[in-house]
Amino acid sequence: MLNYSTTQGLKNALRTFGNIKNSTALRSAKYSTNVNRSNESKDIESPEESTLRSHLDVKPIDYTNNAPVNPKKKRPLLSDSKYESKLYQLPKWKEALGEIVIKSFNLDMDKVRAGPVAGSYYYALCKEQGLQFENEPLSSTAKFFYEDLKLPRTFSQWFQVTILHEWILFVRMRAMPFKYGKNYQQKLVDRTFSDIELRLFDEMNVNSGRIADQYLKDFNSQLRGAVFAYDEGFFTDDATLAAAIWRNLFGGRKNVDMVHLEAMVRYVRAQLYVLSKMSDREFAMGGFKFVPPDETVHQLSPQQEAEMRNAVIEKYQAMDKKPDLLPSERSKLSFEN
């Protein structure tokens, strides 16, 4: 009941994989593979490729403090709760009890799902993007941020990377029905701050509650400022979005590389494009993953888009019609938009 594994969602359709050939097996599952390889246009490349192409040579790029997180005690990705560990299997009787409760009280599952999907799954996605520890190899996305874009490896930089990704999700959540979208946003923010508080104590070795509170207030105002600036940039033009990214993600440093800035704008816009092609239902069920920076998102042709939409509609219509659909799998969110 509480297990929301990622479905191979729509987003895969928008990617191009270098190593996967269009085999017939993949073709049959139309909306989950690379239907749009043919749409490749030459001047669109992945953000990582274009960053590496830059010839601007500035050394050292950033002379601020470089302090990788060096925890005494490392926290799990989400929480200490056994329910959020990957290995945990809910006993069958608990699962059945849950279903009975949902059915008898007629719980609104779209509302209930906000916790496990936005608060847990989506937060973990955002958190992972820029996660870094001293003496530990970086993930490939983190490499893009800290090595290719040469951002300083600090805790507050991690926070900036995280809120950029959260904002990308906020944009999509606003397009959900108000009641649900708001709830998803709230859960994501709540989780962010409760997690940061624990990380400050456990991993950043902050011992005083007063100092931790100060940091949290600081992070809160950073979040508000960033969301405002990104919203403005998203709605107006690329140059404004670039300026917002420069002020927040790049810390407003003078010796910035415009090619890096361009790559980040492309990265953000590409994620939003993928989200705009996703239905409410699929997004709310946790079917989204960020497109890694070394992959390119290409535009869909109207025909491919229609094809994908039909596949999604078919899938969920069949699901809703199933007589033995569990009460916890029910949803009223639209799968047609």
Partner 1 sequence: MSGAVREAASQLVKSLERLPQERVKHIVSLKESQLERFKPVAGLETNTQDSKQRPSLQDIKDIISRTSGPLGLQKDVLKKVNSMLPQEHYTVEAIQEQSQALNNLLNNKYKNYYAVGEKLMKPQGNPHYYQRLMDEIDGKKKETFWTAMRTVVFGK
Q: Which residues bind partner 1 (CB under 8 A)?
A: 44, 53-61, 63, 171-182, 228, 231-232, 234-243, 246-247, 252, 254-259, 261-262, 265-266, 269-270, 272-273, 275-276, 297, 299, 337
Minimum gap (Å) between residue 206 Cβ and partner 1: 26
Residue whose C-alpha is closest to residue 260's, from 286, 278, 242: 242
Q: Tell me the C-alpha distance between 52 and 14, whole Å.
A: 23
Nearer to partner 1, 126 or 176 (CB): 176
Minimum gap (Å) between residue 283 Cβ and partner 1: 11
Minimum gap (Å) between residue 296 Cβ and partner 1: 11
Per the DSSP assignment, residues forming a β-bridge with 297 are: 15
Nearer to partner 1, 21 or 55 (CB): 55
Q: Tell me the C-alpha distance between 26 and 133, whole Å.
A: 37
Minimum gap (Å) between residue 59 Cβ and partner 1: 6
Minimum gap (Å) between residue 254 Cβ and partner 1: 5
Residue whose C-alpha is closest to residue 141's, from 266, 267, 292: 292
Nearer to partner 1, 140 or 276 (CB): 276
Nearer to partner 1, 10 or 242 (CB): 242
Nearer to partner 1, 188 or 270 (CB): 270
Q: Tell me the C-alpha distance between 84 and 310, whole Å.
A: 34
Residue 274, both tokens: 């993928």
Q: Tell me the C-alpha distance between 300 and 272, whole Å.
A: 14
End-to-end CA distance of the chain: 26
Q: What angle do CA 292, 180, 323 make, to 5 degrees?
A: 90
